[in-house]
Amino acid sequence: MIRPGLRTILFLAQKGFGQHAFSSLVASLTIALAAGLFLSTFKIKEEANKAFSNASGGFDAVLGARGSKLQLILNALFHLEASPGNLSWEQYETILKTPGVREAFPIAVGDNYLGYRLVGTLPNLFTDHQWRPGENYKVQKGGRIFTDSAKEALVGSMVARKLNLKIGDRFHPYHGLTYKEESKHSDIYVVVGLLEATGTPADRVIWIPIKGIQLMEGHDASMAQSVSAVLLTLKGAAGFSLDLKYNKQGDRATLAWPVASILGSFFNKLNWFEDVLSLVAYMVAFIGSMIIFATLRSAMNERIREFAILRCLGASRRDVTFVVLAQSIMISFLGALGSLLFSFVIHSITARLIREQTGVVMEGIAIDQATITTFFALLLIGLLSGLLPALQAYRVNLSENLKPRT
């Protein structure tokens, strides 16, 4: 139903959109892709940074072999990458007794089951440690934590789901951090418990007693007295003194502290990637606005007579100008909506991939200030792209364009 004023203008703009539906939709799609790429790049980096920083499992620092702090964190807390080397059991005992150290849990890695990492540690990690303030690990009903000296396993929730492991299941570990069928160990482990989901990398590993890794059949004898890393929670300003002791004065171990800062600097190193993607997005957005302009411009050649008819019916110059601008904004509005959808899809896929690969759970996409700003920026782009064609509509010559065509 047509009503005077805005509804008439929107009606005519929608008719114009429909008459050039294909090129209008291509313009909208281009804008949606550009802005979606821009928004998702921006948000994924931000969310991933936040999610990784929150997924350190409640530890302040990691002590490991001399080497990269980032590699140490990725290996010990996120169960990614190879271990940079080992520490001796004595080094673990030393740090455990160091003043300012609240908790110290040794871990040992080097084996997997069907691609999922086996991590050896002490059972009190699951009873004493809070992976988030006020949150201890919980074992699903019917299960329990492994005992220190038995060949028992406590399975992270994601592994249990992926491999359909249940309490009482038995399995052979495989040597190495990646699954190779020929490197099966003869030891047999029994699943005694399944962990409740935490949304941290702990969900995607199989936890066993540290002695299990140390004494696994086929392992080098030196492993029996070594650990891959020590996970630490610290009191007060102990981090500074430990940093001085291990990183600045010592040369036998590396203290990765503070975890959040090291992860933050890692994400900052990815800025170039964000810059490149942003540049691409800006270019695509520019092309999108050019497509809007070209669509409206070519449509104007056909619509100029239509505008002359409207003027003859009593439409003002302002009315026909607004029709073109409304059509332009319509295209960019659809593009803006599409960009939200597109960024939501990219975000969902990325979040799923990150969860699968790292166990880190990213928060769902939210409509925040950046989203709103991008949305209105797209409408502005649409408005600007429509200015010249709108001016052409404004200046339409009635008597010239109402002449019969031969």
CB of 403 to other proteins, least distance (A): 8
Kindly provide the b/e burial profile for residues 110-131, where b requires at least 16 CB atoms within 10 angstroms of the residue's own CB. Answer: bbbbeebbbbbbbbebbeebeb
Whether residue 208 contacts residue 216, with contact meaning beta carbons closer than 8 Å, is answered with: no
CB of 305 to other proteins, least distance (A): 8
Nearer to other proteins, 51 or 323 (CB): 323
CB of 296 to other proteins, least distance (A): 15
Residue written as tokens 């086996």?
118
- Residue 97 found at the interface with other proteins (CB under 8 A): no
Distances (CA, A) of 156 to 110, 124, 296: 17, 16, 57
- Residue 8 found at the interface with other proteins (CB under 8 A): yes
CB of 328 to other proteins, least distance (A): 17
Pairing of strands 130-132, 226-227: unpaired
Number of residues that bind other proteins (CB under 8 A): 32
223 — phi, psi (to 5°)?
-70, -20
Site string for other proteins, 340-379 (x = CB under 8 A): ----------------------------------------
Q: What is the DSSP string of 148-213?
A: TTSSEEEE-HHHHHHHT--TT-EE--EESSS--GGGB-S--EEEEEEBPP-SSGGGGSEEEEHHHH
Binding other proteins (rule: CB under 8 A), the pick from 10, 13, 16, 325 is 16
Nearer to other proteins, 18 or 99 (CB): 18
CB of 19 to other proteins, least distance (A): 5
- Residue 399 found at the interface with other proteins (CB under 8 A): yes
Return the residues of window 309-338 that contact other proteins according to CB under 8 A.
309-319
Phi-psi region of 142 (alpha: psi -120 to 50; beta: other; left: phi over 0): left
- List interacting residues with other proteins (CB under 8 A): 1-5, 7-8, 11-12, 15-16, 18-19, 305-306, 309-319, 398-399, 402-405
